[in-house]
């Protein structure tokens, strides 16, 4: 293992540590979830400037630590996402996206799909004010489930394989279910089902719109899947 390594990463969380240091939770392109300490960042003349704040996408040089934490040697900004910080709705969605990554992806194995998804989401929220919708936030969460290996079965009944009349969702079964397998499920309207299928299959920029009722059901399907299979509970996506 080299003593120093370079990686691109998104700052998920930044915590004050001591007089002038910060502990960073990072999601990196090359090493998945990593932790790092940035020394002296809170002094006036810091060589890191404001580059190690949450939501920054940065190119880092890190000195390999003996324990959990690496040490930041240098940091260059790839994307600061300046506009999303000025809009409360975008900032809230972006913070929730980082929180979901923080909770769901705790492995030091790289996951390029998850990393790219997070970068796309932050970029989209930064450049497209209309993107900070509940539908878009749910589409991100659904795609993150896919990247993490927990995507629900949507093409056929998750219990028996039946391909029609899939009007309910069961997280314990692993996705949509037919009337014969609907024990422990909740009703999933046709347009909630369509939303899940289309949101999973479309780019983030083409997230379909849906009614509040449909989005509420989609939110529940995603939340119960996260709880049942990934054992995490995220805050529901507010309207």
CB of 104: closest distance to Zn ion in angstroms? 28
CB of 152: closest distance to Zn ion in angstroms? 14
| Nearer to Zn ion among residue 160 and residue 232 (C-beta) | 160
Q: How far is CA 180 from CA 27, 130, 162, in A?
A: 42, 41, 9
Q: How far is CA 109 from CA 28, 52, 84, 118, 221, in A?
A: 10, 22, 29, 16, 27
| Nearer to Zn ion among residue 180 and residue 203 (C-beta) | 180
| Joined tokens for residue 71 | 């040490």
| Nearer to Zn ion among residue 96 and residue 185 (C-beta) | 185
CB of 194: closest distance to Zn ion in angstroms? 19
Where does this chain bind Zn ion (CB under 5 A)?
A: 157, 159-160, 162, 178, 180-181
| Nearer to Zn ion among residue 156 and residue 230 (C-beta) | 156
CB of 117: closest distance to Zn ion in angstroms? 31
CB of 170: closest distance to Zn ion in angstroms? 9
| Nearer to Zn ion among residue 124 and residue 181 (C-beta) | 181
CB of 207: closest distance to Zn ion in angstroms? 29
Rounded-to-integer distance, Cα 95 and Cα 146, Å: 20
| Nearer to Zn ion among residue 59 and residue 162 (C-beta) | 162
């Amino acid at each position: 293992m080299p003593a120093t390594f370079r990686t691109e990463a998104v700052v998920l969380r930044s915590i004050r540590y001591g007089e002038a240091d910060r502990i960073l939770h990072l999601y990196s392109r090359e090493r998945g979830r990593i932790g790092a300490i940035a020394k002296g960042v809170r002094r006036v003349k810091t060589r890191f400037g404001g580059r190690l704040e949450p939501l920054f996408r940065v190119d880092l040089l890190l000195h390999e630590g003996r324990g959990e934490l690496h040490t930041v040697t240098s940091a260059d900004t790839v994307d600061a996402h300046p506009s999303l910080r000025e809009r409360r709705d975008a900032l809230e969605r972006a913070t929730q996206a980082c929180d979901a990554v923080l909770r769901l992806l705790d492995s030091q194995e790289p996951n390029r799909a998850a990393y790219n998804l997070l970068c796309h989401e932050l970029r989209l929220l930064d450049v497209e004010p209309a993107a900070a919708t509940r539908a878009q936030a749910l589409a991100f969460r659904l795609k993150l489930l896919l990247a993490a290996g927990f995507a629900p079965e949507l093409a056929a009944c998750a219990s028996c394989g039946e391909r029609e009349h899939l009007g309910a969702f069961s997280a314990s079964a692993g996705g949509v279910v037919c009337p014969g397998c609907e024990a422990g499920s909740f009703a999933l309207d046709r347009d909630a089902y369509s939303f899940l299928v289309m949101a999973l299959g479309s780019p983030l920029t083409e997230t379909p719109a849906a009614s509040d009722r449909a989005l509420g059901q989609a939110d529940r399907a995603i939340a119960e899947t996260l709880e049942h299979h990934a054992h995490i509970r995220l805050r529901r996506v507010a309207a």
